[in-house]
Chain A
Amino acid sequence: MALSLNHMIPVSVKNGYDINCEGKPLSEVLALVPPTHVALLPERIPYIKPRLLVKTGGRVKTGTPLVEDKRNPDIQFMSPGSGIIESIDFGPRRVIKKIVVKCDNEESRERFDSHSEQDIQNIPAKRLVRAIMKGGLWALMRQLPFRDIADPEHVPPAIFVRLENSEPFHPEPDMYLDGRADLFQYGMNVLHRLADRVFVYAGSHSHADSKTFQENVTHCVKGKYPADDPGVFLYHIKKGSDENQSWYINGQDVLLVAALLKNGTYPVERMVTVAGSMASRGLHLKTRMGVPVSHLVPGSSETDKSRYIAGGLLHGYAVDPDSYLGFYETSITVIPKGNEKEFFGFARPGINKPSYSKTFLSVFNNRPLIMDSNMHGEERACINCGTCTTVCPVEILPQFTIKAILADELEDALAHGVLDCVECGLCSYVCPSKIEICDILKTFRQNYYKETCESHTIII
């Protein structure tokens, strides 16, 4: 562990759990050939109300706006490739599912303003914000606690840069920062213009020893998953409730913002991990935004036997192999679907059954275990076992909080700290009664946000 500089402030997180899942990606990078199609998935961008700016058959360049957010039309989402709009898929209630671009080989790019190091230091912060918005990357900056796109009119109490993600399986900072230290430094300079306090934190898993890394890191987070989640970080460092609306951005996204401002073109490079026991190869892949899942995981024919999860084992959502990678996602995990019934499943010794509990022989087994996507049991009433409480990183008492929510006691639920919940999914994972705790909390938060806060956040 090379992170030992003493200027880093240690932050220790007591609760959490590291899932030991088979299929960790190798620390090796493979550069993929360009895909034939790329897509934008507006459906997967939380909270936005997208308005389409293009039509099927239209010609776009890399960086041409495809949709804007009706709530603030200056927030736009760009085409991750140049070519022709091949299709626009709608879901129920006209939700825009995906906008697919068939790539030409020209890679023509929209031009934006480019900024020298000097410009970054001199132009007003407002103009930097504008430039990022114009370049279509503002949405990478998110605001706690709801994780909506940051309110550009607002000066945040702090900006957190999250370098790594201990959830299985995300790109390691050493991989995506490799050789891009200068760009990262440039990005950090931009962030320092946007807020007085910029905290960069690394987890204890990190072994990056590049100089940039060490100079910028302010905090070192110790603890199990999800200790390195920005919400968990905030919960453990905050001194007052005025810090609740801090912003955060992922380390890899700092590179994108930096590239946009520096070069004046829409950057699309992404480091993506493909992992999981059903993936044909577990690797770090150098590819681009909006790639087809099948491009990342070739030969994925046994689709009814596998589950594809975009964005991490616990936070992520299930995708079809013929879908694409979303704007925020940098990870695809493929695990067995596990949609088979298991004979006398509850009575087996379970040397290979992953569990947080100590009721299987797997307590004696430290090897990574194959995890599938079965529920492993049926939903029952809460038995008040308190397991969910022991894992919750932000010290909520989930079993009591969901009772408050289900009884419609809004004030109580808020006092319980629902808004601190980081949706890490551990409570739902460990619950022996298979209660969708995380989902209940998530739905509550979203509804609460829609009803109360949305009107006075980012509308300009």
Chain B
Amino acid sequence: MKAIRSLFDTFRKHFEEDGRLKKLRPLFDATESFFFIPGDVPRVSPHVRDSIDLKRFMSVVIIAILPTLLWGIYNTGYHSLLASGRDTTLVNALTRGMYVVIPIVFVSYAVGFFWEVVFATIRKHPISEGFLVTGLLFPLTLPPTVPLWQVAMGVSFGVVIGKEIFGGTGRNFLNPALTGRAFLFFAYPARMSGDAVWIASGATAAPTVDAVSGATPLACTTATNPAQTIETALTEAGYTFARLFEGQYPGSIGGTSTLLCLIGAIVLIVTGVASYRIIAGGVIGVLVTGFLLNMVSTGSSSAWFSLNPFYHLVMGGFAFGITYMATDPVSAPGTTHSKWIYGFFIGALTVLIRVVNPAYPEGIMMAILFMNLFAPLLDTIEIRLRLSKRIPNV
């Protein structure tokens, strides 16, 4: 620790006002403050401050995401091995998975971080810890087959267009990770829409799509023959409710296991880092909409109408999205009732998009981005209502 301390002390002069590297000051500060909480004392009262800071806050989010990352690694490896007919023991699957997933995560972090540093340097603002989360969430929403250059494109779009052009963390109104994800979805639909096979190939480092079995559950629902219910179609394809919940099926890297998202949600809610209102609102939104659709479904409507609403909770990326994306405080509303409404509509829209337009099976992504746009409006309305109840003090 002493050694690291003196390392920083030696190099600091290069980054100060008259140093050669003064432009890279934000980078130096970010690195130093990663190792050391600064010794600053408050300028103004109060003269004591809470121990929490943004690093701690974001670390909790990272901890909550980790289970899905580990699962993603295992699951990716497992299906990749399975597809090429090899031995799927735990160690093999993990090794294989890391081989596929680590480069994707790495590229996401490296490219995203590059943009962060560029903007921090130009704008002379500190590098925000928010990126630690974005940089990890983004790859987890991708299929393991994604080429690395697309990862780089997506994260660049997410960080630059989704966040930095609005002024950086705190001023963006769209969730940057989802913005990047949506960009890839629309720019390269064939690879992203989930119709194709999402199993990382065993053969090359730059994964290509293998022509083997195993469509994602959502893809197999779009291919459902009209006489069949979706539940049977899924079960026939081997995707029972329990399997969907537990998450051992091909899909996006981190989004398959509802169980682990639930654990993550519990961590986030118990630590108070994420709003339980949004998550609960989302679940209610899904169930209510699902039941309503069940009620209006007739023989001639699509099989989606009569799907048991609980399947919506475990299928596709809903659990991942509502837990980690919808609860991003920056792009969610900040007032209490609005959070319920926001969550509810995310859930409802997810179901509607899936049902009405099965061509976009990943309804959650569009639902969250859409509600991101409405978050400021929800806040404004709630604040107006609240303020009208105040006894004025002017």
Asked if B128 and A385 sit within 8 Å, CB to CB, the answer is: no
Q: Which of A30-38, A175-183, A257-265, A430-438 contacts the other chain?
A: A430-438
Q: Which residues of B contact A364 (CB under 8 A)?
A: none
Bound form: Cα–Cα A251–B386 in Å? 34
Whether B50 lies near A341 (C-beta < 8 A) is no
* Inter-chain contacts of B390 with A (CB < 8 A): 395, 415, 417, 420
Interface status of A439 (Cβ within 8 A of chain B) = yes
Provide the residues of chain A in CB contact with B43, threshold 8 Å: 436
Contact yes or no, B5 A341, CB < 8 A: yes
Interface flags for A322-336 (1: CB within 8 Å of B; 0: not) read 000000000000010
A315 touches B (CB below 8 Å): yes
Interface residues of B (CB under 8 A from A): 1, 4-5, 29, 33, 35-57, 59-60, 125-126, 128-130, 168-171, 270-273, 275, 329-330, 332, 334-336, 379, 383, 386-387, 390-394
A382 to B29, CA, bound (A): 19
Contact, CB under 8 Å: B57 / A385: yes
In the complex, A71 has a CB within 8 A of chain B: no
Rank and list the top 10 A-B pairs by shortest CB-CB distance, nearest first.
A377-B53, A381-B170, A345-B37, A425-B46, A346-B55, A353-B51, A341-B36, A314-B46, A419-B393, A342-B37
Please name 22 pairs of A and B residues whose Cβ atoms are closer than 8 Å in the assembled complex, sorted by A. A307-B41, A318-B45, A337-B41, A341-B39, A343-B5, A343-B35, A376-B50, A380-B169, A380-B170, A381-B125, A383-B170, A384-B170, A384-B329, A397-B386, A414-B392, A428-B46, A429-B48, A429-B50, A431-B50, A432-B50, A432-B57, A438-B45
Q: Counting CB contacts under 8 A, is A2 at the interface?
A: no
A228-245 residues with Cβ-Cβ distance < 8 A to B are 238-241, 244
Chain A interface SS verdict (over half): loop
- The chain A residue sitting closest to B332, CB to CB, is A384
A354 within 8 A of B: yes
Judging by beta carbons under 8 Å apart, are B37 and A346 in contact? Answer: yes
> Which residues does chain B contribute within 8 Å of A374, judged by CB atoms?
37, 39-41, 49
The residue from A19, A315, A397, A432 contacting B56, defined by CB atoms under 8 A apart: A432
- Complex interface: chain A residues within 8 A of B383 (CB): 397, 400, 416
A91 to chain B, nearest CB (A): 17
A385 to chain B: which residues have CB within 8 Å? 57, 329, 334
Is B379's CB under 8 angstroms from A400's CB?
yes
Q: Is chain B's binding surface mostly helix, strand, loop or mixed? A: loop
| A315-B46, A384-B170, A399-B334 given; A376·B53 CB < 8 A | yes
The count of chain A contact residues (Cβ–Cβ below 8 Å) is 77
Contacts A316-B45, A346-B37, A373-B42 known; A357 to B335 CB distance under 8 Å?
Answer: no
> Is A397 a contact partner of B48 (Cβ separation < 8 A)?
no
Provide the bound-state CA to CA distance between A241 and B393, in Å.
Answer: 6
How far apart are the CA atoms of A355 and B131 in the complex, in Å?
24
- Determine whether the beta carbon of A375 is less than 8 Å from that of B49: yes
* Residue A47 CB within 8 A of the other chain: no
Expressed in whole angstroms, the Cα–Cα distance for A375 and B272 within the complex equals: 21
* B390 to A, closest residue via Cβ: A417
* Chain B residues, Cβ within 8 Å of A380: 53-54, 126, 128-129, 169-170
Residue A340 interfacial (CB < 8 Å): yes
In the bound complex, residues from chain B placing their C-beta under 8 Å from that of A314 are 45-48
Report Cα–Cα, A292/B295, bound state, in Å.
78
Verify if A309 is at the interface (C-beta below 8 Å from B): yes
A316-B45, A375-B38, A381-B169 given as contacts; is B387 within 8 A of A346 (CB)? no
Which of chain B's residues has its CB closest to A431's CB? B50
A residues 374-421 touching B (CB-CB < 8 Å): 374-386, 389, 395, 397, 399-400, 414-417, 419-420
Once bound together, how far apart are the Cα atoms of A353 and B1, in whole Å? 21
Across the interface, name the chain A residue whose C-beta is closest to B335: A397
B57 contacts A376, C-beta separation under 8 Å: no
Are the C-beta atoms of B36 and A342 separated by less than 8 Å? Answer: yes
What chain A residues lie within 8 Å of B171 (beta carbons)?
A: 381
Chain B residues, CB < 8 A from A346? 37, 53, 55-56, 59
- Chain A residues with CB under 8 Å of B130's CB are 383
Output the residue of A317, A375, A386, A419 with the most chain B CB within 10 A.
Answer: A375
Interfacial chain B residues near A371, Cβ < 8 Å: 48
A residues near B56, Cβ cutoff 8 Å: 346, 357, 359-360, 377, 432
| Binary CB contact string for chain A from 85 to 122 against chain B (1 if under 8 A, 0 otherwise) | 00000000000000000000000000000000000000
Instruction: Tell me if B44 and A436 are in contact (CB < 8 A).
Output: yes
Contact present for A378 and B33 (CB under 8 Å)? yes
Q: Are A417 and B329 in contact (CB under 8 A)?
A: no
B328 CB to closest chain A CB (Å) equals 9
Contact A359 B272 (CB under 8 A): yes
Interface pair B332/A307, CB less than 8 Å apart: no
B51 touches A378 (CB 8 A): no
Most buried by A among B48, B273, B383: B48
Residue in chain B with minimal CB distance to A309: B47
**Are B37 and A347 in contact (CB-based, < 8 A)?**
no
The answer to whether B1 and A373 have CB atoms under 8 Å apart is no
Contact present for B37 and A384 (CB under 8 Å): no
- A80 is an interface residue with CB less than 8 A from chain B: no
Q: Let me know if B52 and A376 touch, CB within 8 A.
A: yes
Residues of B within 8 A of A163 (CB): none
Contact with B along A427-456 (1 / 0, CB 8 A): 011111110101100000000000000000
Chain A contacts for B169, CB-based, 8 A: 380-381, 383
**Contact between B59 and A430 (Cβ–Cβ < 8 Å)?**
no
CA of A439 to CA of B46 in the docked complex: distance in angstroms? Answer: 9
| Pairwise interchain contact B55-A338, C-beta atoms closer than 8 A | no
List chain A residues, Cβ under 8 A from B272.
Answer: 357-359
Tell me the chain A residues, 210-251 only, with Cβ under 8 Å from chain B. 238-241, 244
Q: Are the C-beta atoms of A318 and B379 separated by less than 8 Å? A: no
CB pair A19 B59 closer than 8 Å: no
Counting CB contacts under 8 A, is A42 at the interface?
no
Q: Determine whether the beta carbon of B52 is less than 8 Å from that of A355.
A: yes
Q: A346-B56, A358-B271, A374-B49 are known contacts; what are 19 more A-B pairs with Cβ within 8 Å? A: A19-B48, A313-B47, A317-B45, A337-B41, A343-B35, A343-B36, A353-B51, A373-B49, A375-B41, A375-B42, A376-B49, A378-B33, A381-B168, A381-B169, A385-B329, A386-B275, A415-B392, A425-B46, A438-B45
**With the chains together, A353 CA to B49 CA distance in Å?**
11
Residues of A within 8 A of B125 (CB): 381
A341 touches B37 (CB 8 A): yes
A359-B170 in contact given A385-B329, A434-B49 (Cβ < 8 Å): no
> Which residues of chain B come closer than 8 Å to A372, judged between CB atoms?
48
- Given known A-B contacts A345-B37, A346-B59, A383 and B52 have beta carbons under 8 A apart: no
Quote the shortest CB–CB distance from B380 to chain A (angstroms).
9
Task: State the CA gap A419–B57 with chains docked (Å).
Answer: 31
